[in-house]
Amino acid sequence: MTRQSVALAPGAEALARSAAQKISWRLIPILGIGYGLAFMDRVSVSFAALRMNQDLHFSATIYGLGAGLFFIGNAMAEVPSNLLLLRFGAKRIMATIMFVWGLAAVAMMLVRTPIEFYALRFLLGVAEAGFYPGVLYYLTLWYPNTMRARAVSRFYIALPLSSVLMGSLAGWLMGLDGQMGLTGWQWLFLVEGLPAVLFAPVILWLLPDSPAKVKWLTDEEQTWLAGQLKEDHGKAHLGHEAGVLKALLSGRVWMVGLYFFFVGCCAYGLSFLLPTILKDATGLSVGAVGWLIALFSLIGAAAMLVNGIHSDHKRERALHCIVPCLVMAAGYVVASYSHHTWVIVIALAVSFISTYSLWGPALSVPMEFLAGPAAAAGIAAMNTIAIVSGFVAPYWMGLMKDAWGDYNIGLRGLMFAALAAAGMMWILMRSLKQGKAAAA
């Protein structure tokens, strides 16, 4: 009996639940670990900077430019990398990406001059490009629209959990200063870069390319999943027939990209400087600051899961994306004007946690109007627009610090970015509603 000939079983809800559980248990831990390692290697420089900048005499502007150049390299390679994923399959490209970026992350321990810092950050960005948008496209092959916010939240929870791990390890690794002739920040780059090199073969071994190539889904589950995905693709604004070029030129793809650009300004503008800002505000040790950020991240992980589940339950995306942006903006304002240490800490924590909470619903939005090759190209294009924020925001924060002596003006700039993100999501959702009404 072929999979195509199997009729959908009467207990559709139980069937859906069974398929989703199998997919989640088999795929989400692998993807989550991969993205967690990517995020650690992307932002480990924020903890290294607490000593590296002093050792190498880097100003805030030099650090901000170097931290941001990662994202220029990343943006340049996003679309080509995702098109290679379409051509050669998900696991081959993602495993290759992981191995190469791990080597680049370890090489950061060899930095001595600003030029070397700039070059390696840029190369790290090129190497990592494609993993994150590749995962988002990959999830569209496995999860129907009604389950994607939860799926994305479960995958994306790796980001705050990696911050928990990084924060808890940072003090210990920096404390290895002088061991075997290495500084503490060199130990940090070495220990946090090697796992990506070692995990790449695991991706190649365990990650299937598509549902059609697995034996752990039953015939009924395969048929149910294929039917759900076909129905979603039929409703897509840009479906299988749209092609790559149409996706790249889509106004809605650009709207999503701009939303994530503004959100990214908030996320990267804060995350790359948060250890330094908290240390300056509280006077705590590197280890204590790391544990504080770990606590923020743990709460952020819970907020991400709750908001994603609630968004799927209510079948609503806009408010689940807009409200966190407004809360983020309020947090930046309070932190930038307050002179009370723990008011600043709490305000930054609220903004940090709110940023995490929106990702599940927000990343589900493009998956609702993109399918097939258009999804691979569109998601990569949107991420190319968004990832530039990782260059703009840290550089902006560094410039403001050098110009004004603190990060308050920089934080107020992030407030405007959060408000712009809320406005862009509102415009996008109106456009999607109008498109559905016109098609009805």
- Tokens coding 221: 């589950």
- State how many domains the chain has: 1
Write out the residue range of the structural domain in which residue 44 sits. 18-209+226-439
Residue 325 lies in a domain: yes
Over its length of 440 residues, how does the chain's per-residue pLDDT go in tens digits? 333 333 444 566 777 788 888 888 888 999 989 988 988 888 888 888 888 999 999 988 898 888 888 888 888 887 788 778 878 888 888 899 999 999 999 999 999 999 999 999 999 999 988 888 888 888 888 888 777 777 777 777 887 888 788 778 888 888 888 889 899 899 999 998 999 999 999 998 888 888 877 888 888 888 888 888 777 666 655 444 445 566 667 788 888 889 999 999 999 898 878 888 999 899 888 788 888 988 998 899 899 889 988 988 888 889 999 999 999 999 999 999 999 999 999 999 999 999 989 988 888 887 777 666 666 677 777 878 888 898 889 889 988 998 898 899 999 999 999 999 999 999 988 887 776 665 55
Phi, psi for residue 315 in degrees, rounded to 5 = 55, 45
Distance CA 66, CA 39 (A): 16
CATH number for the domain harbouring residue 99:
1.20.1250.20
The CA-atom distances, in angstroms, between 224 and each of 144, 146, 161, 218, 333 are 10, 14, 33, 10, 49
Whether 11 maps to a domain, the answer reads no
In a domain, 415, yes or no: yes
217 inside domain: no
Q: Is residue 234 part of a domain?
A: yes
DSSP state of 370: B
Contact call for residues 359 and 132 (beta carbons, < 8 A) = no
Q: Is residue 39 part of a domain?
A: yes
Q: Residue 220: inside a domain, yes or no? A: no
- Are 365 and 240 a contacting pair, CB within 8 Å? no
